[in-house]
Amino acid sequence: MIASITRAAAIAAALILTPAAASAQQIYESVTGDDLVEILTEVGYTAELGVDNVGEPMINGQIEGVAYTLFFYRCNDETPKQCLDLQFNSEFAFQKPVTLEMVNAYNTNNRFGQAYIDKDGRTSLDMSVTVQGGLTRQAIKENIDWWKVALTSFEEKIFETP
């Protein structure tokens, strides 16, 4: 009986400590461009890795036909660069004008995605994410999903009557 209990405990411990169980709970303390390309394509979106004008990773892609750029911030100098912060961005060229009042109404009524009109009059949407302190792969996917929701509903929501 004691041998059976000991064997069962050993099997349970082995299952808990297997690499598959450990990798399912991987915590990202920082991310690389390659990490995000892999995760974005895993959830079905296009993602092309490049470099921005200051040498940090940058991803361009599409989610449900809407173009986006993913910028990386607070990156170290290692290769590949490990970064702590991300900013999703998309610019929109609507046929109808977007006013500051419309942008303010959008920002007041929506938790995810920050709208603004830049100095050249372009309407943009951003969403920032930090991995500082650690995020699981699933938490990163959840943040990507919130970006998808904000991105794909933005045109409808920005033109809603407040």
Distance CA 120, CA 122 (A): 6
Distance CA 87, CA 123 (A): 16
User: Which residues on adjacent β-strands are paired with residue 92?
Assistant: 123
DSSP state of 159: T
Q: Which domains does the chain have, with CATH numbers?
A: 27-158 (3.30.1460.70)
Place of tokens 């969403």: 127
What is the chain's pLDDT, residue by residue, as a tens digit (162 residues)?
555 444 444 444 443 444 444 455 789 999 999 999 999 999 999 999 999 999 999 999 999 999 999 999 999 999 999 999 999 999 999 999 999 999 999 999 999 999 999 999 999 999 999 999 999 999 999 999 999 999 999 999 999 865
DSSP state of 120: T
pTM of the model: 0.82
Q: Which two tokens stand for residue 89?
A: 């961005």
pLDDT score recorded for residue 25: 78
Query: Which residues are within 8 A (CB) of 155 and not within 5 positions of it... i.e. 6 or more apart?
Result: 92, 94
Return phi, psi of residue 96, to 5°: -95, 150
Residue type, 22: A
Distance CA 111, CA 24 (A): 29
Handedness of CA 124, 125, 130, 136 (dihedral sign): negative
3-state SS class at 89? strand
pLDDT score recorded for residue 36: 98
pLDDT score recorded for residue 162: 59
